[in-house]
Amino acid sequence: MTFLKAQRPILSMRRLAFASLLFLATAGLVASAVCIEQHLAYKREVVDSTRTHLTSLTFQATRSIDGIAREAIDNVNSIAGQLSGGQLTHEKALVRLRELLERHPHFLGTALSYNPYAFDPGRRLWSALYVKENGLIKYVR
C-alpha cells in the first residue's frame, strides 16, 4: 500500500503537468486565432481603404480627361464650323490651331484636313499638322 500512496503524488503531478500543458496549448491556440483574425480584419480594412481611395482618384482623373477632351472637341468644332461657314480663312484657322497648342499643355497635336479637292481643285488631299516635340511646336504638311 505504501507503494500506491507513493505513486499517487506522482500521478497527481503528471495530471497537473498535463492539464497545465493542455491549458497552455489551448490558450496559445485561442491567442493565435485572435491574432490571425485581427490581422485579416486589418488587411481587409487596408484593402477596402485603398480601393476606395483609388476609385476616387480614378473618377477624378476621368473627369479631368473628359474635361480636356470636351474642350478639345469644342475648340476644333468651332474652328471647323467657322472655316466651313466662311468666317475663318485657312491661314487664320492654322493660327488658331497653333494657339490651341500654345494654351493647352495637354494637347500634343492639332491637324487641319480638307475633304478631297476642297482646299485646291487641282489637289485631291491636303492637310496640315502642328505637333509638340520637346516643348516646341512644329508645323508638318
Angle between helices 2-84 and 90-103 (to 10 degrees): 160
For residue 122, the model assigns a pLDDT of 84
For residue 62, the model assigns a pLDDT of 96
67 class by beta-carbon count within 10 Å (0-12 exposed, 13-18 middle, 19+ buried): exposed
For residue 8, the model assigns a pLDDT of 66
What CA–CA distances, in Å, run from 117 to 76, 94, 97?
A: 21, 19, 22
Per-residue pLDDT of the chain in tens (141 residues, 90 and over written 9): 555 455 666 768 888 899 999 999 999 999 999 999 999 999 999 999 999 999 999 999 999 999 988 988 898 899 888 988 889 888 888 898 899 888 888 888 888 888 888 777 888 888 888 999 888 899 887
Where in the chain does DSSP place strands (E)? 109-113, 127-133, 136-140
Residue type, 100: L
What the block records as the C-alpha cell of 119 is 482646299
Question: What is the C-alpha separation between 61 and 45, in angstroms, rounded?
Answer: 24
For residue 7, the model assigns a pLDDT of 61
Look at residue 137 and give its three-state secondary structure: strand
Residue with cell 468651332: 78
For residue 86, the model assigns a pLDDT of 85
For residue 23, the model assigns a pLDDT of 95
For residue 42, the model assigns a pLDDT of 97
For residue 5, the model assigns a pLDDT of 56
